[in-house]
Amino acid sequence: MLEKPSVVLMDDLAEGVFAASGCWSGLVASPQDLDGGGYHVFEIHLTHSKEVEHISTACTITLAFTGAVIDAYAENGWSCSVNGSTVTVTRPSHANAYKSGEEVTYKVWAKSVDEATTKALSCSITSYDCSKQTNVQGGGADGN
């Protein structure tokens, strides 16, 4: 009978902010609660850890909203999908994020069922996914 090893390292707990992805962390700001098009404007700030060695080709985040989202879009036409109160955005990177601590800021627009609900929307990032490319030294295949 195989038993799945269960190892929890204290270092991992201390670096809880990176736990979701191993490398990306972030926060959300709300610079405008209603724009001319009836959307609530959110600003996403992401930082790639300097502690890992790989090239990141994209970062996909999941945003959990406090209310239903009927439409959303991201800066530069990046992939943005809506499912109830969950929005998933993929921000592609230039292949230069090798151990760079890259910082990314972009906007996401979200609209709810009416103006009042749209204004009241807030959201938080619930998951990060780093798309990786193996670097020339052969790193990056370690899950970091």
Q: How far is the CB of 52 from Zn ion (least distance, A)?
A: 6
Asked if 63 contacts 88 with a C-beta cutoff of 8 angstroms, the reply is yes
Residue 11: CB minimum distance to Zn ion, A: 18
20-38 burial: b if 16+ Cβ within 10 Å, else e:
bbbbbbbeeeeeeeeeeee
Q: Whose Cβ is closer to Zn ion: residue 42's or residue 98's?
A: 98
DSSP state at residue 116: H
∠ CA(80), CA(81), CA(87), 5° rounding? 90
Kindly state the smallest distance separating residue 44's Cβ from Zn ion, in Å. Answer: 16
Which spans of this chain sit near Zn ion (rule: CB under 5 A)? 23, 56, 130
CB atoms within 10 A of CB 68: 13
Q: Which is nearer to Zn ion, 52 or 123 (CB)?
A: 52
Least distance (Å) between residue 23 CB and Zn ion: 3
Cα–Cα nearest to 53, from 136, 121, 123, 126: 136
- For Zn ion, the closer of residues 32 and 144 by Cβ is 144
Nearer to Zn ion, 56 or 118 (CB): 56
